[in-house]
A and B are shown apart, each in its own frame.
Chain A
Amino acid sequence: MILPALRCPPLILSLSKGHKSAVFAFLSFFLSLLVVFTSPASADEAALRAIIAKFAAAQNFKATEAVVQELAATSDPAVERPLAALAEGDLYFRKSDSAVFIGKEAGQAIKLADPLTSAEAGEEPKAAVTKIKVNNALRRSIRDALGGLTLGSPDANARIAAADTMFKTPVAANVEALDAAIAKETIGSVKLKLEQARASSVLVSDLPEDEKLAAIDVIAGIGSRDALSLLTGYETGAEGALKDAASAAVASMNSTLALWASAQNVWYGLSLGSVLLLAAIGLAITFGVMGVINMAHGEMVMLGAYTTFIVQNIIRTSFPGLFDWSLAIALPLAFLVSGAVGLAIERGIIRFLYGRPLETLLATWGVSLILQQAVRSIFGPTNREVGNPSWMSGAFDIGELSVTWNRLWILAFSLAVFFLLLFVMKRTSWGLQMRAVTANRRMASSMGIRTPWVDALTFALGSGIAGIAGVALSQIDNVSPNLGQGYIIDSFMVVVFGGVGNLWGTLVGAFSLGVLNKFLEPYAGAVLGKILVLVLIILFIQKRPRGLFALKGRAVEA
C-alpha cells in the first residue's frame, strides 16, 4: 500500500498553487479511496486477495485449512496479518458480497478493516457479517505457517518462537531457510534454538546419514520432553544405524527424565505439603494448643477466601490499577474477618463447652453448616471469581522441572506464616500466656492471667490464621461455600499426625504427608493414594497415639 501513495506526488505538482487546500482535501479523500478501494497495486497482492477471498467460500475446517496452506505457500510476509487475525477469530466475511475483512467487535456492530493493509473499511451490524470459524487444529496449522514467516523477524523472541514451532513440526523444506537464518543469526541463544530446529528438520529430510546422526546428537542434547517425543516418533520409522542411535538417545534421555521426575515429585510433595500446612496451621492453634475440636475451621478458611473475593471485586470496580496488590490488601482483612468470627464463636458457644469434646464437635459442626448456608444465601451457591495477580501466573523451568509461580509463592507464604506464628507463641508475652493457660489453667489463673480472654484471643488467632490461609487457597481452589469442607479432614490428619500441641509437628507432618502422597500418586492413582495415606496414618497413630512429636510431660487436658 506504500506504492499507490508514492505514485501521487506528480498529481500535486500538476495543480496550481491557488487551489492548494482544495487539492489537499481532494488528495486525502483520493488517498483514502486508494487505500480502501483501489485495485491491487501489484499482481502479487491481487493474487493474495484472490486467495483470501476463498475464505468466504470455505464450508468447513478442511476447506479453510486448504486456504491457509495456499496463503502460507506464497511465503509473502503480508499474509501474516490475515492469518493471525484468523487464528484470533477476528476474520469475517460480509454476507452481501462475500468480501473478507478483519473485524473487531464494537458494541452491536463489527468494525471492519482490510485484511492485508488493516485500513478501516467501515462498520457492519453483527448480523451482516459471518465469522470465519477456527478450531484448534486450524490454529495449529496457522501457527506452523506463521512460524516459517517470522523466522526473519527483527524481534529475537519471535525468532525463538518460530524456531520452537519448526522444531516441534519438522518439515524437510525448512532446512534451507534455517541454514540461511543460522548464518545471519548473531544472538547465541537464538542460534542454538535455530540449530535445534534445523536438526529436527534434518531428520525428516533426504540428507545423508551422517548429517542425521549429528542431528540426533543435537536433539538428544536438549533432553526435554519435546525432544524425547520427537526422537521416539522418529525411532519407530528409522532403520539401521540411525535407529540404533535414536534408541540409545531415547534410552539415555528417559533415564535422565526419570531423575527429573523424582525431583518433580519432591517439589509437588512440598507444594501439596505447603497447602496442607496452611490449612492446618490455624487448627494447630485451636485444636492443637487449645484442644477444641473445631469443625468450623474449614469455614474460617472459606471466609478468608470470600474476603479476597470482595476485596478483588472492589478493586476491579474502583481501583483497577491496584489489582496486583489485591492479595496483600486482602491478607489483613481476611485475618480480621475470620478472627472476629472466631472470637464470636468462642464467646458465644465454645466457652460454655470446654472439657466436653463431643458437644464441642457437634456445636462447631452446626456452626460450620450455618456459616456455609449463610455464605450460600449471600453470595449464591456458584463459584466466585478470584483472579490470579500477574506475579502468580505461569511457570518457570529448572532443567526439566517446571515450577509454577503460584505454588512457589504459596510455599513461601506458608513458611512465613508458620514462623510468624512460632515467633508469636515463643517470643511474645501473649504467646507465653497462651502456653501457660494450656499447660495449667488454674495455676495460670492464680498468676493473674485472665484465662477466658486468653482463650478467646487464642481462638481468634487460630481462626484469623485460617482466614489468611483462605486468601492463599483462593488462588488454587474454587471460592465456593464448600471450600472449607475439602480441607477439614486433611487439616485434622496433619495435626494429629504431627502431634497435638506442637507447631513443629504440624510443619513436619504437613510436608511428609504431602511428599508421601505425591510419591504414591503416580503408582497408585489419586484415589488409592489418598486411601493409602489414610491407612498409613491410622497405623501410625496405633503405634504412636500422640503423633510424630508428642508433648512431653503432663497432657494438655490434665
Chain B
Amino acid sequence: MRGTFSTFGKFLFASAVAAGLGLATPALAQEETIKVGVLHSLSGTMAISETTLKDTMLFLIEEQNKKGGLLGKKLEAVVVDPASDWPLFAEKARELIAVDKVSAVFGCWTSVSRKSVLPVFEELNSVLFYPVQYEGEESQRNVFYTGAAPNQQAIPAVDYLMNEEGVERWVLAGTDYVYPQTTNKILQAYLESKGVAKEDIMINYTPFGHSDWQTIVTDIKNFGSAGKKTAVVSTINGDANVPFYKELGNQGIKAEDIPVVAFSVGEEELAGLDTAPLVGHLTAWNYFQSVDTPENTAFIDAWRAFTKNDKRVTNDPMEAHVIGFNMWVKAVEKAGTTDPDAVIDSIIGVSVPNLTGDLSSMMPNHHITKPVLIGEIQADGQMETVWETSGLVVGDEWSDYLPDSKDLIADWRAPLSCGNFNVATGKCGGKGIN
C-alpha cells in the first residue's frame, strides 16, 4: 500500500513538474534589469484566452528592449502561471511583487481573478494593468483598466441596434457570473430609461460551458416572434458561444432576423472555427484586427514576425495591453523611476497612440479613452466594422444607470485621491471595494 502510494505520489509530482517546466522563464540577468510581471493563465480553462496575452507581453518587452529598454536598463519579463485558479492568482501576484520585485504587473482576465489579486496589490503597493472588458463598478488606486468599461462596449452596441436596426425587444443572454450579471443590470436599467417596457426584455443565464442550447434558442425564437424586431445581447462567455451559434444556425435563425451582438467573441476565439453559423452576427469591441490604419498594419506585421506565424490573429485585449504597456513606459520615463507611487501619479493624463489611429489617454479614474466599434463577423473569422463612435469614449467606472453607483465618481489625483467619491454626500466612500 505505502509503496504504491508513494510511487503514485512521485508520479503526480513528476507530472506537476512536467506541467510547470514549460512555464517558468527564469532568464538569467547579467545586468540590472527592470522586471515586468506577466500574470496570465497558461493552463486550465482560461489558457484558451490568456496564453496570447502572455505572448503579447513578451513581444512588447522585446520590442521595447530593441528600442534601448527603459531608463537605460533592459526590461525583463517574469512569467508565472496562475493556472485558471483564482486563489492562485493572489499567491502568484504576491510572489511576483515580493519575491521577484517586479515594477509592474500585466495580467488577469476574469473579474474574479482581478478581485482576488486586488488586496495583494493594495497591500504591497504595486501596479496592475488589466486588459479585458469588464463590468465596471470598480476603481482601485493600484489598478489601471485598459479594457472597456460597460459604457465603452455594451451601451454603444445597444445604441447601434436601437438606432440602426430598429430593435425594440431584447434578449440579454449571459453566462452566470459577475460580468454578465452586472452588465445586464446596467443594460436593463439603460433600456428601461430609453422607454423599453419590462416585458420586452428577457434575461437568461446559463452555466459555464453550457452546450445544450436547444431550449434557450427556441425561447429566443418564440420571444422574437411577437411582431417586434428582436436582438440578442450576448455576454455568453468563452466556449459556450460556439454551440450557441451552431444551434441558432441549425434552427434557421439568421442574423437578419434576430441579430446577436456579442461582447466576448473576438478574432482569437474565431480563429480556426467553423464560422458559417456566425456570419452576419455582431460584435462590439474597441479594436478589430481588420482596422485599416498604418499603426495596426505595422503592429500585425511585427507580431506575426515575433510569433513566426503569418496567420496569427490579433484581438482587443491584446491592443489593451499594447496601450497599457506604452502608457506605463511613458509614465516611467516621465517620472524617471519605476516606483509605483511615482508612476501612479505620473501616468494620469499620459496619451499614447492606439491601433485604431487615435490617441488613448489615461483618465484620473484609471480608465482610458477608446473608440467603440461594432463589427459584423465575416466568413474568414474577421470583423468588418459597420459602425463606430464619432470620437473616443471615456471609460465610466461607476455606471450612471445603476441607482447605487450613479452618484459615485473616481478621481485618483490629489487632493481627492478617491475611487468612490460620492458627489451627493461629498464624501469618499460608499459602495465598492475601497
Contacts and interface: CB of A to CB of B under 8 A. Distances in A.
A476 B376 contact: no
Interface stretch (A265-273, A440-448, A452-460): A265-273
A50 B269 CA distance: 43
Given A136-B256, A366-B12, A370-B15, A264 B239 contact: no
A407 B176 CA distance: 25
A268 B214 contact: yes
A530 B211 CA distance: 13
A366 B13 CA distance: 10
B399 to A, nearest CB: 24
Instruction: For chain A, give the interface size range.
Output: 35 or more
A278 to B, nearest CB: 12
A226 B5 CA distance: 64
Nearest to B204: A525
B165 A136 contact: yes
A229 B386 contact: no
B125 interface: no
B5 A478 contact: no
B253 to A, nearest CB: 10
A369 B43 CA distance: 10
Nearest to A131: B384
B101 interface: no
B51 to A, nearest CB: 5
Given A373-B19, A480-B239, A225 B222 contact: yes
Interface in B201-225: 204-207, 209-212, 214-216, 218-219, 221-222, 225
Contact of B47 (A139, A381, A485): A381
A271 B164 contact: no
Given A135-B386, A369-B15, A482 B45 contact: yes
The A interface is mostly helix, strand or loop, or mixed, namely helix
Interface stretch (A188-196, A214-222, A385-393, A497-505): A385-393
Interface stretch (B132-140, B190-198, B272-280, B320-328): B272-280
Contacts of B42: 381
A169 to B, nearest CB: 11
Instruction: For chain B, give the interface size range.
Output: 35 or more
A333 B256 CA distance: 40
Nearest to A168: B257
Contacts of B154: none
Interface stretch (A15-23, A110-118, A398-406, A550-558): A398-406
A234 B18 CA distance: 67
B165 A382 contact: no
B434 interface: no
The B interface is mostly helix, strand or loop, or mixed, namely mixed
B256 A229 contact: no
B250 A383 contact: no
Nearest to B7: A352
Contacts of B8: 349, 353, 359, 362-363, 366
B68 interface: no
Contacts of A292: none
A229 B274 contact: no
A145 B394 CA distance: 40
Contact of A395 (B250, B259, B282): B250
B300 interface: no
B61 to A, nearest CB: 21
Contact of A482 (B209, B273, B280): B209
A410 to B, nearest CB: 11
Contacts of A482: 45, 48, 209, 239
Interface stretch (B102-110, B144-152, B240-248): B240-248
A380 B384 CA distance: 27
A525 to B, nearest CB: 6
Interface string A211-253: 0000000000000011011101110100000000000000000
B207 A530 contact: yes
A135 B165 contact: yes
Interface in A117-150: 133-137, 139-140, 143
Nearest to B176: A527
A391 to B, nearest CB: 13
B85 to A, nearest CB: 12
17 contacts: A89-B384, A135-B164, A135-B376, A136-B256, A271-B214, A352-B4, A363-B11, A366-B15, A370-B18, A370-B19, A383-B242, A383-B269, A395-B250, A404-B214, A480-B239, A521-B215, A526-B206
Given A271-B214, A522-B219, 14 more contacts: A137-B164, A225-B221, A225-B225, A268-B212, A268-B214, A363-B11, A370-B15, A381-B48, A382-B271, A395-B250, A404-B250, A407-B214, A480-B48, A526-B215
Interface of A: 61, 89, 133-137, 139-140, 143, 225-226, 228-230, 232-234, 236, 261, 264-265, 268, 271-272, 275, 349, 352-353, 356, 359, 362-363, 366, 369-370, 373, 376-377, 380-388, 393-395, 402, 404-407, 476-478, 480-482, 485-486, 518, 521-522, 525-527, 530
